[in-house]
Protein backbone atom coordinates (compact mmCIF):
# COMPACT_ATOMS: atom_id res chain seq x y z
CA UNK A 1 0.00 0.00 0.00
CA UNK A 2 2.84 2.39 0.85
CA UNK A 3 4.47 1.72 -2.52
CA UNK A 4 1.19 2.43 -4.28
CA UNK A 5 0.79 5.79 -2.47
CA UNK A 6 4.40 6.68 -3.23
CA UNK A 7 3.90 5.93 -6.92
CA UNK A 8 0.73 8.08 -7.03
CA UNK A 9 2.53 10.96 -5.28
CA UNK A 10 5.49 10.62 -7.66
CA UNK A 11 3.29 10.65 -10.78
CA UNK A 12 1.36 13.67 -9.46
CA UNK A 13 4.62 15.54 -8.83
CA UNK A 14 5.84 14.78 -12.34
CA UNK A 15 2.56 16.07 -13.75
CA UNK A 16 2.87 19.34 -11.86
CA UNK A 17 6.49 19.79 -12.95
CA UNK A 18 5.54 19.06 -16.55
CA UNK A 19 2.65 21.56 -16.45
CA UNK A 20 4.94 24.27 -15.05
CA UNK A 21 7.52 23.58 -17.72
CA UNK A 22 4.92 23.89 -20.47
CA UNK A 23 3.76 27.23 -19.08
CA UNK A 24 7.28 28.59 -19.01
CA UNK A 25 7.82 27.75 -15.35
CA UNK A 26 10.32 30.14 -13.83
CA UNK A 27 11.73 31.42 -17.12
CA UNK A 28 11.62 35.23 -16.77
CA UNK A 29 11.23 35.89 -20.51
CA UNK A 30 8.30 33.46 -20.70
CA UNK A 31 6.75 35.00 -17.59
CA UNK A 32 7.07 38.48 -19.12
CA UNK A 33 5.50 37.29 -22.38
CA UNK A 34 2.54 35.79 -20.49
CA UNK A 35 2.18 38.98 -18.48
CA UNK A 36 2.07 41.07 -21.64
CA UNK A 37 -0.47 38.72 -23.17
CA UNK A 38 -2.77 38.79 -20.13
CA UNK A 39 -2.39 42.32 -18.81
CA UNK A 40 -1.66 44.52 -21.81
CA UNK A 41 -5.21 44.69 -23.24
CA UNK A 42 -6.63 45.63 -19.84
CA UNK A 43 -3.86 48.17 -19.22
CA UNK A 44 -4.47 49.88 -22.56
CA UNK A 45 -8.24 49.91 -22.00
CA UNK A 46 -8.05 51.40 -18.49
CA UNK A 47 -5.22 53.89 -19.05
CA UNK A 48 -5.71 54.79 -22.75
CA UNK A 49 -1.98 54.39 -23.40
CA UNK A 50 -0.44 53.28 -26.67
CA UNK A 51 0.63 49.72 -27.40
CA UNK A 52 4.32 50.69 -27.16
CA UNK A 53 3.80 52.54 -23.87
CA UNK A 54 1.96 49.56 -22.42
CA UNK A 55 4.80 47.21 -23.42
CA UNK A 56 7.36 49.43 -21.71
CA UNK A 57 5.23 49.79 -18.58
CA UNK A 58 4.79 46.04 -18.27
CA UNK A 59 8.54 45.49 -18.73
CA UNK A 60 9.36 48.12 -16.09
CA UNK A 61 6.76 46.71 -13.69
CA UNK A 62 8.04 43.16 -14.23
CA UNK A 63 11.62 44.26 -13.55
CA UNK A 64 10.54 46.06 -10.38
CA UNK A 65 8.65 42.99 -9.16
CA UNK A 66 11.76 40.88 -9.74
CA UNK A 67 13.80 43.31 -7.63
CA UNK A 68 11.24 43.14 -4.82
CA UNK A 69 11.18 39.34 -4.69
CA UNK A 70 14.23 38.99 -2.48
CA UNK A 71 13.06 41.46 0.17
CA UNK A 72 11.34 38.90 2.40
CA UNK A 73 14.60 38.21 4.21
CA UNK A 74 15.22 41.87 5.09
CA UNK A 75 14.16 43.60 8.28
CA UNK A 76 10.96 45.66 8.14
CA UNK A 77 12.93 48.92 8.04
CA UNK A 78 15.32 47.75 5.31
CA UNK A 79 12.45 46.29 3.30
CA UNK A 80 10.51 49.57 3.45
CA UNK A 81 13.58 51.55 2.40
CA UNK A 82 14.29 49.23 -0.53
CA UNK A 83 10.64 49.32 -1.64
CA UNK A 84 10.74 53.12 -1.68
CA UNK A 85 13.94 53.04 -3.76
CA UNK A 86 12.41 50.62 -6.27
CA UNK A 87 9.22 52.71 -6.47
CA UNK A 88 11.22 55.90 -7.10
CA UNK A 89 13.27 54.14 -9.79
CA UNK A 90 10.09 52.80 -11.39
CA UNK A 91 8.54 56.28 -11.51
CA UNK A 92 11.72 57.68 -13.05
CA UNK A 93 11.55 55.01 -15.76
CA UNK A 94 7.84 55.76 -16.35
CA UNK A 95 8.67 59.44 -16.86
CA UNK A 96 11.37 58.45 -19.37
CA UNK A 97 8.78 56.63 -21.57
CA UNK A 98 7.48 59.56 -21.33
CA UNK A 99 4.35 59.46 -19.20
CA UNK A 100 2.64 62.38 -17.50
CA UNK A 101 1.97 62.39 -13.76
CA UNK A 102 -1.71 61.67 -14.49
CA UNK A 103 -0.78 58.67 -16.66
CA UNK A 104 1.56 57.37 -13.96
CA UNK A 105 -1.27 57.69 -11.44
CA UNK A 106 -3.58 55.67 -13.72
CA UNK A 107 -0.90 52.99 -14.18
CA UNK A 108 -0.31 52.78 -10.41
CA UNK A 109 -4.06 52.47 -9.81
CA UNK A 110 -4.27 49.75 -12.46
CA UNK A 111 -1.52 47.65 -10.88
CA UNK A 112 -2.95 48.22 -7.38
CA UNK A 113 -6.30 46.91 -8.63
CA UNK A 114 -4.53 43.91 -10.19
CA UNK A 115 -2.78 43.21 -6.88
CA UNK A 116 -6.05 43.37 -4.94
CA UNK A 117 -7.78 41.07 -7.43
CA UNK A 118 -4.95 38.54 -7.13
CA UNK A 119 -5.14 38.62 -3.33
CA UNK A 120 -8.89 38.01 -3.50
CA UNK A 121 -8.42 35.05 -5.85
CA UNK A 122 -5.73 33.58 -3.63
CA UNK A 123 -7.78 33.97 -0.45
CA UNK A 124 -10.78 32.43 -2.24
CA UNK A 125 -8.68 29.40 -3.19
CA UNK A 126 -7.23 28.99 0.30
Q: Give the residue numbers spanning the domain of 81.
A: 29-125
Is 12 domain-assigned?
A: no
Centroid of chain to Cα 5: 36
How many helices (H) and strands (E) would you count in the chain?
Answer: 5, 0
* Residue 92 covered by a domain: yes
CA distance 37 to 31: 10
- Residue 16 located in a structural domain: no
Q: Report whether 68 contacts 86 (CB < 8 A).
A: yes
With a CB cutoff of 8 Å and minimum separation 6, the contacts of 65 are none
Greatest C-alpha distance within the chain: 65
Instruction: Give the model confidence (pLDDT) of 82-118 as tens digits.
Output: 999 999 999 999 999 999 999 999 999 999 999 999 9
pLDDT at 72: 83
How many residues are given for the chain? 126
Confirm whether 13 is domain-assigned. Answer: no
pLDDT 10s digits, 46-88: 999 999 999 999 999 999 999 898 888 889 999 999 999 999 9
Percent of the chain with pLDDT over 70: 79
In a domain, 89, yes or no: yes
Q: Structurally, how many domains does the chain consist of?
A: 1
Answer whether residue 10 is part of any domain: no
Asked if pLDDT for residue 20 goes beyond 70, the answer is: no
Torsion of CA 8, 25, 107, 44, to 10 degrees: -100
Tell me if 15 is assigned to some domain: no
**Residue 119 within a domain:** yes
Secondary structure in 3-state letters for 83-123: HHHHHHHHHHHHHHCCCCHHHHHHHHHHHHHHHHHHHHHHH
What tens digit of pLDDT does each residue of 33-48 get? 999 999 999 999 999 9
pTM for this entry: 0.75
Amino acid sequence: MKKFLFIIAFITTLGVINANAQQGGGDPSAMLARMKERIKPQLIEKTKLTDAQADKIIEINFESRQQLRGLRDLSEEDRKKKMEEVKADTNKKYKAIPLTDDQIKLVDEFFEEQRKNMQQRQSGNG
